[in-house]
Amino acid sequence: MENSSLDLAQIFEPIRADLAKVDREFAHHIQSHVDLIPKIGQYIQTSGGKRIRPAVLLMAARLSGYDGDRAILYAAVVEFIHTATLVHDDIIDDSDLRRGRLAVHSRWGNDITVLLGDYLYIKSMGMALTVDSLELVRLLCEVTCRMIEGELYQLTKTGVVDLTEEEHLEIIRRKTAYLFGGCGQIGGILGGLSETQQLALRDYGFNLGVAFQLVDDVLDYTADEDVLGKPVGGDIREGKMTLPAIYLLQKDSDRARPLLTSLVQDRSFSAAAWTELRGLMTEHRVLDQAYARAVSFAETAKNELSSFPPSQEIDALMALPDYVVSRDR
């Protein structure tokens, strides 16, 4: 874990000062006459998030030749949107922990947390509207709508054992990848890059986001709970089929189907069932298969940068997919 954290700090070194400005921008805009809002905002901000999304935006902007304050503002907007989705998702998933601490709803209750998430969404758009770029506001609105659609789509698939790989990838695209992609594209727009280069940065972020979530799929079965910051097996407990389970069903339906039906559809989670499931996954090497899929998306992300000349920012963006697939949390 220490090496991964150090690697991420090294990757972010070119934008370390800008990330500090993003933190200050976030803290500034979370201020309110209602004391509870900044109190919860500070709790979230100090919970140890990786800040990969704002980092992608900042590095894409620098790569594009932009060094103004709008990149800081939009990076903070992205953090507001991401944070809003986290607090709402934790309620939906009934997740008690987030990054090793009590989730916001576990500490302050569902009613307050729902309203806080709404506040963060609206605040993010208000922040974006303080600069004269309706193009970027429209992009952020589109990304946010896709994220919410992704959550709704996932809810319709909760408890569905026969989820296909494509259906799972569509959930990932909407819930995770589009925001990553939007970060890259915003950086390119701020720098006035050609449409082709803007789309290359968007596709870089998009594929990075898919890789990030697929690694999460694997870590949910393999990580150390203390490192992960939440119980392993959370997806199965919540009735969600992810790539390892999808692959297992394809390889050994006779043994996997009754087990996954009990776990996913009937929500009959037990230590014995979890041990049996992990044993089948080890036997059929589906965790390796799912990890290899994540690596393929990470490589695709790096390939999207091939048209850009060498730079410190390119080095950082090229290193980020490697970090994503090597992380342990």
pLDDT in the model for residue 2: 39
What average pLDDT does this structure show over 230-241? Answer: 90
CATH of 2-326, one of 1.10.600.10, 3.50.50.60, 3.40.50.10470, 1.10.510.10: 1.10.600.10
Q: Is the pLDDT of residue 1 over 50?
A: no
**Residue, of 246 and 5, whose pLDDT is higher:** 246
Task: Give tens-digit pLDDT for 176-228.
Answer: 999 999 999 999 999 999 999 999 999 999 999 999 999 999 999 998 877 77
Averaged pLDDT score across all residues of the chain: 94
What average pLDDT does this structure show over 108-124? Answer: 96
What average pLDDT does this structure show over 125-148? Answer: 94
DSSP alpha helix (H) spans, 242-329: 243-251, 253-260, 271-284, 286-303, 312-326
Please report, for the chain, the start and end positions of each structural domain, with discontinuous segments joined by +.
2-326
Q: Is the pLDDT of residue 4 over 80?
A: no
Q: Is the pLDDT of residue 5 over 80?
A: no
Q: Yes or no: say if 140 and 125 are a contact pair by the CB < 8 Å rule.
A: yes
13 phi, psi to nearest 5 deg: -55, -40
Q: Is the pLDDT of residue 240 over 70?
A: yes
What pTM value is reported for the model? 0.95
